[in-house]
Amino acid sequence: IATGTRTAAEVLAECLAMIEARDGDLNCFTAKTLQRAQREAAAIDRLRAAGKPLPPLGGVPYAVKNLFDVEGMVTLAGAKINEGNAPASADATIVARMSRAGAVLVGTLNMEELAYGFLTENHHYGVTRNPHDLERGAGGSSGGSAAAVGAGMVPITLGSDTSGSI
Protein backbone atom coordinates (compact mmCIF):
# COMPACT_ATOMS: atom_id res chain seq x y z
CA ILE A 1 0.00 0.00 0.00
CA ALA A 2 2.68 2.54 0.93
CA THR A 3 5.06 1.39 -1.83
CA GLY A 4 3.10 3.13 -4.59
CA THR A 5 2.86 6.86 -4.90
CA ARG A 6 1.14 7.31 -1.53
CA THR A 7 3.02 7.47 1.73
CA ALA A 8 2.06 5.38 4.75
CA ALA A 9 0.84 8.61 6.38
CA GLU A 10 -1.46 9.28 3.41
CA VAL A 11 -2.81 5.72 3.49
CA LEU A 12 -3.38 6.06 7.24
CA ALA A 13 -5.24 9.35 6.75
CA GLU A 14 -7.54 7.70 4.16
CA CYS A 15 -8.13 4.77 6.51
CA LEU A 16 -8.97 7.04 9.44
CA ALA A 17 -11.34 9.09 7.27
CA MET A 18 -13.17 5.91 6.26
CA ILE A 19 -13.42 4.81 9.90
CA GLU A 20 -14.77 8.24 10.83
CA ALA A 21 -17.33 8.09 8.02
CA ARG A 22 -18.56 4.52 8.60
CA ASP A 23 -18.03 3.45 12.20
CA GLY A 24 -20.85 5.55 13.67
CA ASP A 25 -23.37 3.39 11.79
CA LEU A 26 -21.51 0.09 12.18
CA ASN A 27 -19.99 0.16 15.68
CA CYS A 28 -16.90 -1.87 14.78
CA PHE A 29 -14.28 -0.09 16.87
CA THR A 30 -14.01 -0.11 20.66
CA ALA A 31 -10.88 2.08 20.60
CA LYS A 32 -8.59 3.76 18.11
CA THR A 33 -4.81 3.71 18.44
CA LEU A 34 -4.11 7.00 16.67
CA GLN A 35 -0.77 7.91 18.25
CA ARG A 36 0.59 4.42 17.72
CA ALA A 37 -0.67 4.36 14.13
CA GLN A 38 0.98 7.71 13.41
CA ARG A 39 4.30 6.49 14.89
CA GLU A 40 4.18 3.25 12.88
CA ALA A 41 3.27 5.04 9.62
CA ALA A 42 6.05 7.60 10.17
CA ALA A 43 8.58 4.79 10.71
CA ILE A 44 7.60 3.23 7.37
CA ASP A 45 7.83 6.60 5.64
CA ARG A 46 11.32 7.17 7.10
CA LEU A 47 12.47 3.81 5.72
CA ARG A 48 10.99 4.66 2.34
CA ALA A 49 12.58 8.14 2.29
CA ALA A 50 15.96 6.59 3.11
CA GLY A 51 15.60 4.18 0.19
CA LYS A 52 15.59 1.15 2.48
CA PRO A 53 13.51 -1.96 1.78
CA LEU A 54 10.07 -1.93 3.36
CA PRO A 55 8.83 -4.81 5.48
CA PRO A 56 6.22 -7.07 3.80
CA LEU A 57 3.19 -5.21 5.21
CA GLY A 58 4.84 -1.80 5.17
CA GLY A 59 2.16 0.81 5.83
CA VAL A 60 -0.87 -1.51 5.62
CA PRO A 61 -3.51 -0.46 8.19
CA TYR A 62 -5.14 -3.14 10.33
CA ALA A 63 -7.22 -3.55 13.48
CA VAL A 64 -7.58 -6.33 16.05
CA LYS A 65 -10.45 -7.96 17.88
CA ASN A 66 -10.41 -6.60 21.43
CA LEU A 67 -9.38 -10.03 22.62
CA PHE A 68 -5.72 -9.58 21.65
CA ASP A 69 -3.42 -7.68 24.00
CA VAL A 70 -2.28 -4.29 22.73
CA GLU A 71 0.45 -2.75 24.85
CA GLY A 72 -0.86 0.09 27.00
CA MET A 73 -4.54 -0.76 26.47
CA VAL A 74 -6.98 -2.73 28.59
CA THR A 75 -7.99 -5.95 26.85
CA LEU A 76 -11.76 -5.81 27.23
CA ALA A 77 -12.71 -9.11 25.58
CA GLY A 78 -16.13 -7.52 25.18
CA ALA A 79 -16.79 -7.55 28.93
CA LYS A 80 -17.38 -4.56 31.24
CA ILE A 81 -15.88 -6.55 34.08
CA ASN A 82 -12.48 -6.17 32.38
CA GLU A 83 -12.58 -2.35 32.23
CA GLY A 84 -10.79 -2.10 35.60
CA ASN A 85 -7.97 -4.43 34.59
CA ALA A 86 -4.45 -3.13 34.14
CA PRO A 87 -3.43 -2.27 30.58
CA ALA A 88 -1.50 -4.94 28.69
CA SER A 89 2.22 -4.72 29.37
CA ALA A 90 3.09 -6.03 25.90
CA ASP A 91 1.48 -6.78 22.57
CA ALA A 92 0.10 -10.26 21.92
CA THR A 93 2.50 -12.29 19.79
CA ILE A 94 0.43 -11.84 16.62
CA VAL A 95 0.18 -8.06 17.16
CA ALA A 96 3.96 -7.87 17.68
CA ARG A 97 4.50 -9.89 14.49
CA MET A 98 2.18 -7.61 12.53
CA SER A 99 4.14 -4.62 13.80
CA ARG A 100 7.46 -6.20 12.80
CA ALA A 101 5.98 -6.84 9.34
CA GLY A 102 5.31 -3.09 9.05
CA ALA A 103 1.52 -3.10 9.49
CA VAL A 104 -0.04 -0.03 11.12
CA LEU A 105 -2.44 -0.71 14.00
CA VAL A 106 -5.44 1.64 13.93
CA GLY A 107 -7.59 0.20 16.72
CA THR A 108 -9.40 -2.56 18.56
CA LEU A 109 -12.70 -4.05 17.47
CA ASN A 110 -16.05 -4.95 18.97
CA MET A 111 -16.80 -8.59 19.70
CA GLU A 112 -19.14 -10.92 21.52
CA GLU A 113 -18.58 -10.87 25.26
CA LEU A 114 -15.67 -13.16 26.14
CA ALA A 115 -15.65 -14.34 22.49
CA TYR A 116 -18.60 -16.58 23.12
CA GLY A 117 -21.50 -15.87 20.84
CA PHE A 118 -22.61 -15.75 17.26
CA LEU A 119 -24.24 -12.37 16.58
CA THR A 120 -21.87 -9.60 17.73
CA GLU A 121 -24.69 -8.17 19.80
CA ASN A 122 -22.57 -7.06 22.71
CA HIS A 123 -24.74 -6.01 25.66
CA HIS A 124 -22.06 -3.62 26.92
CA TYR A 125 -20.57 -2.09 23.78
CA GLY A 126 -23.47 -2.38 21.36
CA VAL A 127 -24.36 -4.30 18.23
CA THR A 128 -21.99 -4.34 15.28
CA ARG A 129 -23.98 -3.88 12.08
CA ASN A 130 -23.48 -5.56 8.72
CA PRO A 131 -21.95 -2.94 6.39
CA HIS A 132 -24.06 -4.17 3.48
CA ASP A 133 -27.39 -4.09 5.34
CA LEU A 134 -27.62 -1.99 8.51
CA GLU A 135 -30.77 -3.85 9.57
CA ARG A 136 -28.63 -6.94 10.14
CA GLY A 137 -25.85 -7.72 12.57
CA ALA A 138 -22.34 -8.65 11.55
CA GLY A 139 -22.54 -12.15 13.05
CA GLY A 140 -19.85 -14.18 14.75
CA SER A 141 -17.84 -13.37 17.82
CA SER A 142 -15.42 -11.47 15.55
CA GLY A 143 -18.16 -9.37 13.94
CA GLY A 144 -16.28 -6.12 14.49
CA SER A 145 -13.37 -7.59 12.55
CA ALA A 146 -15.57 -8.81 9.70
CA ALA A 147 -17.60 -5.61 9.41
CA ALA A 148 -14.51 -3.36 9.46
CA VAL A 149 -13.08 -5.22 6.45
CA GLY A 150 -16.44 -5.52 4.72
CA ALA A 151 -16.97 -1.76 5.04
CA GLY A 152 -13.53 -0.99 3.61
CA MET A 153 -12.34 0.68 6.80
CA VAL A 154 -9.23 -1.51 6.94
CA PRO A 155 -7.91 -4.19 4.58
CA ILE A 156 -6.88 -6.59 7.37
CA THR A 157 -8.21 -7.45 10.81
CA LEU A 158 -7.40 -10.12 13.34
CA GLY A 159 -10.20 -12.24 14.77
CA SER A 160 -10.54 -15.56 16.55
CA ASP A 161 -12.75 -18.59 16.54
CA THR A 162 -13.97 -20.31 19.71
CA SER A 163 -16.77 -22.48 18.42
CA GLY A 164 -17.23 -22.00 14.69
CA SER A 165 -18.22 -18.33 14.65
CA ILE A 166 -15.85 -17.43 11.82
State how beta strands 129-130 and 61-65 pair: unpaired
User: Is 52 designated active site?
Assistant: no
142: helix, strand or coil? coil
The distance from CA 95 to its chain's CA centroid, rounded to whole angstroms, is 10
Catalytic residue of the set 32, 52, 65, 145: 65
Q: Which whole-number Å values give the CA distances from 79 to 38, 75, 82, 125, in the listed order?
A: 28, 9, 6, 8
Catalytic residue of the set 99, 141, 142, 145: 141
Each residue of 86-117: b (16+ CB within 10 Å) or e? eebeebbeebeebbeebbbbbbbbbbbbebeb
Stated as kind and residue range, the H or E segment containing 104 is strand 104-109
| Alpha helices by DSSP H, the chain | 8-26, 34-49, 93-100, 143-150
User: Is 141 designated active site?
Assistant: yes
User: Is 165 designated active site?
Assistant: yes
Catalytic residue of the set 99, 142, 145, 165: 165
Q: Which residues are catalytic?
A: 65, 141, 165
